[in-house]
Amino acid sequence: MMRPKRSHHCSRCGHCVRRMDHHCPWINNCVGEDNHWLFLQLCFYTQLLSSFTLILDFCHYYYFLPLKKTNWDFFVFRHELALIRISTFMGLVILGGISGLFYTQLMGIFTDTTSIEKMSNCCEEISSPRKPWQQTFSEVFGTRWKILWFIPFRQRQPLRVPYHFANHV
């Protein structure tokens, strides 16, 4: 059976995936052409919520710190400060890891290469002509409307690719 260009067979799933980037253990699925935009949204909103958690931890810590010094009896839970520190540590770890993952995914979209293509042939893709970043983002997110790229409550529609780009896909 003929395999489409830029598709790969996943040894974990047992499926062939078009524009396969990687197999993600967090979503237990391959990240490819059909769900790459959802994976980017997952990374984006995880960063946003981790940042929000860190802001809440910071506010909570500095709100309860003077209370601890003045009157210890007002603390309902004596381990609240330890839980805030654990939450801050986990927020920092998740924010750092997801930020790195999100950055590498965005750089892959900018260069129009997947992680598998970067690992398999690092030097051949440098000489190939590149598409504009707006077009590669539009292909991943399924719309040219930039305001809709990170809205999670929509359906992705495949773009109609012009004929001169269809031969290079």
Residue 163 lies in a domain: no
pLDDT digits 0-9 by tens, 39-66: 999 999 999 999 999 999 898 877 766 5
pLDDT digits (tens, 9 = 90+) for 5-20: 888 888 888 888 888 8
Burial 125-153 (b: 16+ CB within 10 A, else e): eeeeeeeeeebbbbbbbbbeeeeebeeee
Residues labelled catalytic:
24
Domain that holds residue 101: 36-150
pTM for the predicted model, two decimal places: 0.77
How many domains does the chain contain in total? 1
**Is 129 a domain residue?**
yes
